[in-house]
Structure 1
Amino acid sequence: MKTALALRHLHFEDLGTLEPLLEERGYQVRYVDATQADLSALDANASDLLIILGGPIGAFDDELYPFLTDELRLIEQRLAGGRPLLGICLGAQLIARELGAAVAPMGFKEIGFAPLTLTAEGRESVLSPLADVPVLHWHGDRFETPPGSRLLAGTEGCPQQAYAFGNAVLGLQFHLEADADRIESWLVGHCCELALAGLDPRAVREDARRHGQSLARAARRVIGTWLDRQLDSNEHLR
């Protein structure tokens, strides 16, 4: 059985709608809580797929949150091994940092459901099913496009929303994995952030109801195609 290791920073920011997809694809999913586990003891390249999930801290906050030092080292080793690596929100920022890109606050929060603008390369990429599909944005930091990577998507407020580095690495600033049926956990877990940003949770809840199913369908197509390409790459290397 294939294995998927997901590093989680908040319990409710999990794989969401992607978890059943991975299980259908024959992956045994294992979560590791990055704030509690001994990340230095993990073998970065032992799993078939490594996913770095989101969280409300910054990619350069390792002095404040020392566990990030071991997490960054794990990402560095995974990148060196060339094995499939997916980063979502904070995960994409941490990978971007390891690839030599700047990550910094935007000066405002981008929170809520809104569509992406795909680049020319993005329209030809695995992200093509996301054209005109509102995705969940929930961040206040942004990454620069990592050197040697391909910029795939952006928004007006955050022009760098997704990148691919080679065929094995995909970084997504937005949350395509969010399960709209469990949005209440996000609204409660991030209630202080919503209040500080002056956002009404009722609006986010309603948008989750309106867009959740279309996002879930598109997410399955995006990640399903990306996983297929990993298999194709592995066959090519044999």
Structure 2
Amino acid sequence: MNAAEDLASKGFNTTNMRIHHLQHVPFEGLAAIEDWAKQRSHTLTATRWYETDVLPRLEDFDMLVVMGGPMGIYDEADYPWLRDEKKFIRQSIDSGKPVLGVCLGSQLLADVLGAKVYPNRHKEIGWFPVQFHPELNNGELVVCHWHGDTFDLPEGAVRLAESAACKNQAYRYGDRVYGLQFHLETTPGSMEGMIAACGHELAKAEWVQTAEEMRNGLPYAEATRTVLFRLLDRLEKFV
């Protein structure tokens, strides 16, 4: 039995899926999401806003992933492409495509779905626990956070995770749109990239860890990767 047959026997979609992702800064790429896509022989394309503003036609991709970044959804004066990105995300949702938003991506999803996005009362940077609804994971899991903003739950959305520092950590809108405030995709490489680019934010506080503490938390990434892959497998079935 080859790899494709093995995946098919476990109920996975083995048809080549075209995944497009929106990347806002060089140091916040797909990380473990790319590992999942390569395992299943899916095709990856990207709009990297720091290089280009070219977006694909809706018919040219099957699933959309919106990644993180240090800017806010309200920073359109500094990042005018945010206007086009929001329109594109809304069109992707309305067309029925599976959509996953991570960190800034989850905030952009919340915004286009009509919810308010605003600074959280705490910055949350480091490995801290969230309490999951059974749909994503059973009970508590320590995940990687790096965010200062948060959002209200979009009307009609279902909260899937929360934490002591941030009420809305994950949500589902309909069957095929998911927003994650945290970073299930974290790998050692992605962690180093974020520390190198945004390490100035690591001023010790109640919900902010040091760079050393964040590196020491990397063993948690194996469990978060499992939850990520489970979620992506669910979204894959809608293609």
Q: TM-score normalised by the shorter chain: which range applies?
A: 0.7 to 0.9
Q: TM-score, normalised by structure 2?
A: 0.86
Q: Alignment partner of 1:112: what SS? A: strand
Deviation at 1:195, TM superposition (A): 3.6
Q: 1:181 to 1:35 in 2, by over 3 A?
A: closer
| Residue type at the aligned position of 2:106 | A
Q: Within the alignment, does 1:189 sit opposite 2:197 as a pair?
A: yes
Q: Which sections of structure 1, spanning at least 5 residues, go unmatched?
A: 232-238
Q: Corresponding residue for 1:27?
A: 42
Q: Alignment partner of 1:75: what SS? A: helix
Q: 1:20 to 1:100 in 2, by over 3 A?
A: same
Deviation at 1:47, TM superposition (A): 0.7
Q: Corresponding residue for 1:79?
A: 93
**Aligned partners of 2:120 and 2:210: how far apart in 1?**
21
Q: Corresponding residue for 1:218?
A: 227
Q: Within the alignment, does 1:62 sit opposite 2:76 as a pair?
A: yes
| Residue type at the aligned position of 1:111 | I
Aligned length: 222
The answer on whether the counterparts of 2:66 and 2:105 sit within 8 Å (CA) in structure 1 is: yes
Identity of aligned residues (%): 33
Over the aligned positions, Cα root-mean-square deviation in angstroms equals 1.8
Q: TM-score, normalised by structure 1?
A: 0.86
Q: 1:80 to 1:45 in 2, by over 3 A?
A: farther
| Residue type at the aligned position of 1:57 | M
Which is further off, 145-154 or 41-50?
A: 41-50
Q: Which sections of structure 2, spanning at least 5 residues, go unmatched?
A: 1-15
Q: 1:77 to 1:157 in 2, by over 3 A?
A: same
**Aligned partners of 1:214 and 1:13: how far apart in 2?**
20
1:1-238 to structure 2, matched below 5 A, reads 1-39=16-54, 41-118=55-132, 122-123=133-134, 125=135, 127-128=136-137, 131-195=139-203, 199-208=209-218, 210-228=219-237, 230-231=238-239
Q: Alignment partner of 2:141: what SS? A: coil
Which is further off, 170-179 or 43-52?
A: 43-52
